Structure 1
Amino acid sequence: MYREIIKAHERIKSFIKNIPLYYSNIFSELKEGDIYLKLENLQRTGSFKIRGALNCMLKNREKCVNGVIAASAGNHAQGVAFGAKLLNIPATIVMPEITPLIKVLNTSKYGAKVVLHGKSYDDAYNKAVELSKKENLFLIHPFEDEDVIAGQGTIGYEILNELSEIDQILVPIGGGGLISGIATYVKHVSPNTKIIGIQADNAAGMYYSHMRKKVVTLSSSATIAEGIAVKRVGDMTFEICESHVDDVITVSDDEIAYAILQLIEQSKLVVEGAGAVGIAAILSNKVNVKNKTTVVIISGGNIDVNLISRIINKGMVTTGRYCQITVNVKDAPGSLSAVTGIIASLQANILDIKHHRFDANLPVNYTKVIFDLETKGFDHIEKIISELNRAGFEARANG
């Protein structure tokens, strides 16, 4: 497949963005290593998926006469739809009925016919298989396809053409197509470069398959990294990963949320959960990058705007920059002012205040007041609660 990846790059290079590696001064200085980011969130359609989809269609033009079809609720859908538009090929995308409207609209705007079917990706995929046979459409699988894998592998080709001495490359894993392509190329050209796969704790199909030495099917794949929320990796991708990938590790949703927040604040990059797992692994010290040259694949940036504030808030809670505290105070003039005065003196920002006077556990003439605070870390939170209790108020942190 090594040579197929080189051919794939020749096929697709005029259609995709050639985005140079971005050296992250912030993360490099923080972790005392050289950290480069491969920013596929800036790629056309906002993710790497356009690579595999385009290569598959370009190589199989004669099979696409009646059109192409794919099942996806996200980046693969947009990659296939956009690629088909570029090549003037009719496209049908089957998406689960629960797919957010914005993703349906983003796919439709590329001219694809969207079919909503079923409650899950598996339902949508089975429908896509049915329609491909019924209407003689060319089915493009998101990861279990050699041409798709070769297209994704062009990322490895670009990285090594730009930077030859690399200690390790961190790659998100969902179904395994991206890491299979990158690992195949990199291990052929630079066998000493380690390939480390990163998965979400709650969608760690490749991790458990690797541990058990066989493909396993997860009962659930609920994670904020929806781009890699796959219950079952491919048989083909599993075999490639077993041969070419050095390690697979997992990160929690809290660690992913923190990474998203840090990428926004420190690097001014909007990255989806799947694209942030590599940085999450570095920031949580699950991958050693000190005195090493590390490339992190930022696989996509198609984060749902309706979720971004929740993810940022989750990251802020995780780092102690937001907290909610409850204070029981006398329901009398001046009591609330005394509490807010203490909070203000400690330089915490009050975002919201709620009163609950009718709590069965409260003494008569007392009210429960809940404060939403912007804080400076866990030590700051502890100091606020300590000062309030020292002043005679009953205060505690919620959650």
Structure 2
Amino acid sequence: MISTEGLNEAKVRISNHLHVTPMLSSQTLNEETGKRVHIKAEHLQKTGAFKIRGAINRVTLAKEAGAKHLLVASSGNHGQAVAYIARTLGLPATIIVPEDAIPTKVNAIHHYGANIIYYGTTSKERIAHAEALENKMNVVIIPPYDDYEIIAGQGTIGLEILSQVQQPSAIVVPIGGGGLIAGIASAVKMINPAIKVIGVEPEEANGTFLSREAGKHVAIQASTSIADGLRSSTPGELTFPIIEKLVDDIVLVSENDIREAFTFYLSRMKQVVEPSGAVTLAALRAGKINHENGDVVLVASGGNVNVRVLEEYIV
């Protein structure tokens, strides 16, 4: 589990490199759902996603321990984050991305100066390839989610949420490999165990939902969900026990639910929130979030989209 000390150390370690992202609101959304809704705008974070938090925390410690070259397996956002902070700290980085990676994310990784390797289509394949290259390349692997320092970095979002919204009744979080929700749940439940933490997965990428139902890790086949950042094959070895203990519920959303949420963000709020970040709004608008009366916080986890194919995300 993540300690209070670990969260506070991560907050101090990463604070000079980050934005404190704002809370957004929409009167239309409040009226439509009958709830007071706050959107934690991590899509406005540096590198366009929450991943920079864990990356800064882990890479800073890796450099202090003597790392000379970083290796990452990532669908895009984590790769961007590590590439960014590696350049900032003067370290070379190599990023393994899926063969069907979104070009916008790959271009950003290239812009930050990292080397790029295309390999496979699932997180399991990429992670295995990174492990195979670790000794050959004399690198330090920076995991995308299954690492306590990564989880602690993501958990700083929970600390920020509770400084911005007084006593929310529920915080709704996307689930990929589980680092984001494990971190947020750790922070929130330490401060106020009564706040519900609810995870959201696409129906077509529901590895954590199935694992929770089975009480053990369940691996799914490669997904084609438009929420590309949530296509993890199975939850992490470290993240899953935290999710089991601290997350109150996990709900699923359809591809059409995600498209409708993406379209709402774009057309009504003038925000570009990638499909992976829009799943929380999708769950709320689809009536999947049941909680006591009070404020609801939706984590909009990223905003990196391929603008050339926006029509695929719009209804």
Mark yes or no: TM-score above 0.5: yes
Report the 3-state secondary structure (helix = DSSP H, G, I; strand = E; otherwise coil) of the residue aligned with 1:202. Answer: coil
Shift, 1:133, TM fit: 1.5
- Normalising by structure 2, we get a TM-score of 0.95
Aligned AA for 2:158? Answer: G
Alignment deviations for residues 206-238 of structure 1 (CA, whole Å, 9 cap, x no partner): 111111111100123221111101111112111
Shift, 1:120, TM fit: 4.1
Contact 1:57 1:64 in 2 (8 A): no
Aligned residues: 313
98-107 vs 154-163, greater mean Cα deviation: 98-107
1:215 equivalent in structure 2: 217
- Distance in 1 separating the partners of 2:186 and 2:156: 10
1:59 equivalent in structure 2: 61
1:165 equivalent in structure 2: 167
Aligned AA for 2:190? Answer: H
- Distance in 2 separating the partners of 1:118 and 1:219: 13
Identity of aligned residues (%): 38
The higher radius of gyration belongs to 1
Shift, 1:117, TM fit: 3.0
Report the 3-state secondary structure (helix = DSSP H, G, I; strand = E; otherwise coil) of the residue aligned with 1:191. Answer: coil
- Distance in 2 separating the partners of 1:109 and 1:60: 22
Shift, 1:94, TM fit: 1.4
Matches within 5 A, 1:58-207: 58-207=60-209
Shift, 1:247, TM fit: 0.3
Alignment deviations for residues 14-73 of structure 1 (CA, whole Å, 9 cap, x no partner): 101111222332211221221000000000111000000110011232345311110112
102-111 vs 139-148, greater mean Cα deviation: 102-111
1:307 equivalent in structure 2: 309
- Distance in 2 separating the partners of 1:201 and 1:242: 19
- Distance in 2 separating the partners of 1:170 and 1:34: 13
1:256 equivalent in structure 2: 258
Aligned AA for 2:46? Answer: R
274-283 vs 123-132, greater mean Cα deviation: 123-132
Contact 2:75 2:228 in 1 (8 A): no
Shift, 1:289, TM fit: 6.1
Give structure 2 stretches of 5+ with no counterpart.
none
Contact 1:94 1:124 in 2 (8 A): yes
Match of 1:33 among 11, 31, 35: 35
- Distance in 1 separating the partners of 2:31 and 2:291: 11
- Distance in 1 separating the partners of 2:161 and 2:139: 34
Q: Considering Cα pairs closer than 8 Å and 6+ residues apart, tell me whether 1 or 2 has the greater RCO.
A: 2
- Distance in 1 separating the partners of 2:196 and 2:21: 22
Contact 2:122 2:231 in 1 (8 A): no
Report the 3-state secondary structure (helix = DSSP H, G, I; strand = E; otherwise coil) of the residue aligned with 1:97. Answer: coil
Report the 3-state secondary structure (helix = DSSP H, G, I; strand = E; otherwise coil) of the residue aligned with 2:221. Answer: coil
- Distance in 1 separating the partners of 2:233 and 2:252: 15
- Distance in 2 separating the partners of 1:77 and 1:47: 11
- Distance in 2 separating the partners of 1:96 and 1:264: 27
- Distance in 2 separating the partners of 1:256 and 1:181: 24
Cα gap change, 1:117 to 1:31, in 2 (>3 Å): closer
- Normalising by structure 1, we get a TM-score of 0.76
- Distance in 1 separating the partners of 2:126 and 2:252: 27
Contact 1:81 1:112 in 2 (8 A): yes
Match of 1:240 among 239, 242, 249: 242
- Distance in 2 separating the partners of 1:80 and 1:272: 19
Shift, 1:310, TM fit: 1.9
Cα gap change, 1:87 to 1:255, in 2 (>3 Å): same
Report the 3-state secondary structure (helix = DSSP H, G, I; strand = E; otherwise coil) of the residue aligned with 1:13. Answer: helix
- Distance in 1 separating the partners of 2:159 and 2:45: 16
1:231 equivalent in structure 2: 233
Report the 3-state secondary structure (helix = DSSP H, G, I; strand = E; otherwise coil) of the residue aligned with 1:14. Answer: helix
226-235 vs 239-248, greater mean Cα deviation: 226-235
